[in-house]
Amino acid sequence: MEKNDPAKSTTAAVINDGTRYNFSLSMQNPRYALVAYVKGPVGEFVESLRRELHPDLAHFAAHLTLLPPRPLRGAENAALQVLAAICGRTEPFEVTLGGMDSFAPTTPTVYIRVAYGAMQMCELHEQLNTQALEFVEEWAYIPHLTIAKMPSEAAAEQAFRVAGERWEEYAGSRRVLLDRLTFVREESPNCWIDLAPVLLGGRLVSP
């Protein structure tokens, strides 16, 4: 997800303990999401592959999504309180990435399935989809790591073949520890900014 310069587009808000987070007051009806950024060799692999397959989306950071994009049912502060309460009582857990897959023809999206840990992601997603964060989603929640949403089904088929070959050649670890999530907001199409980090088994913390 592309990040803007918070100093240029946001104002400070105080959450709970006095920690300040950057929140824009300029957008109307923005969408929000909760993600886990994927770092290390596997994150670098995904970002490199995305640059190869869809250069226009090269700015997106590799991530797993716990809450897909949605409007809020209330204020950002209320959503953050829900995140703090639920994630604070959820212990960190590990997921293992599985095979390459595609959502085509439903959507021309190429992705890596989550194998081990998918059930825990689904359980956390269900718990988080409540109160200020509640939303009736268009698609069933499927834990995955998106490579790229292509412009057409034909392009997705080609990308799937290439991505599958690259993934088979990848020799690094396919394990990802989920212990730190990030609450994000859409500033414009394909452009998201980080609002606040959220620790599993912990609390909201300063960036």
Torsion 157-158-160-161 (CA) sign: positive
Distance CA 19, CA 168 (A): 44
**Which pTM value belongs to this model?**
0.83
- For residues 21-49, average pLDDT: 83
How confident is the model over 132-163, as pLDDT tens digits? 999 999 899 999 999 999 999 999 999 999 99
Contact 95, 117 (CB under 8 A): yes
Helix (H, G, I), strand (E, B) or coil at 89: coil
Which CATH fold topology does 6-199 show? Cyclic Phosphodiesterase; Chain: A, (3.90.1140)
Q: Which residues of 52-85 are buried (b: 16+ CB within 10 A; e: fewer)?
A: ebbeebeebbbbbbbbbbbebeeebeebbbbbbe
How confident is the model over 109-136, as pLDDT tens digits? 999 999 999 999 999 999 999 999 999 9
